[in-house]
Structure 1
C-alpha cells in the first residue's frame, strides 16, 4: 500500500491519465507514484434528485 493523499492537497501530475487494469491513474510528476482519477480533474456534476438534507 502507498501513501495517502487527502482532499484539497495540491499535487503535480503529468498531463494524460494512464490506464492500469481498466482503471485510470495520474502519474505524479515529482515521484514514481500514481493516484487514481476520480474527481481530480474537476468534472462538473448535475443533481438529478433533491439535494435536501434531513435531520431524521
Structure 2
C-alpha cells in the first residue's frame, strides 16, 4: 500500500520543483515576471508552505 506524501514532503517537493524551474527559465529569474508555469509552481509552493506553517503553529 502506498502512503500519501506528508504535507511537509509535498511542501519540499513544490519548493524543489520551483527552484529547478527558476534555474532553467530566463523569464522567472527575479525580479522578472514569472511565466505561466513558474507562477503555477510558485503558487503551489506558497499554498503548501502556508498550510505547513499553519499546522506547525497549531501544534
- Regarding TM over 0.5, the answer is no
Whichever structure has more helix as a proportion of its residues is 2
Tell which has more relative contact order, 1 or 2 (C-alpha 8 A, sep 6+). Answer: 2
Larger strand percent: 1
TM superposition score normalised by structure 2: 0.22
Larger Rg: 1
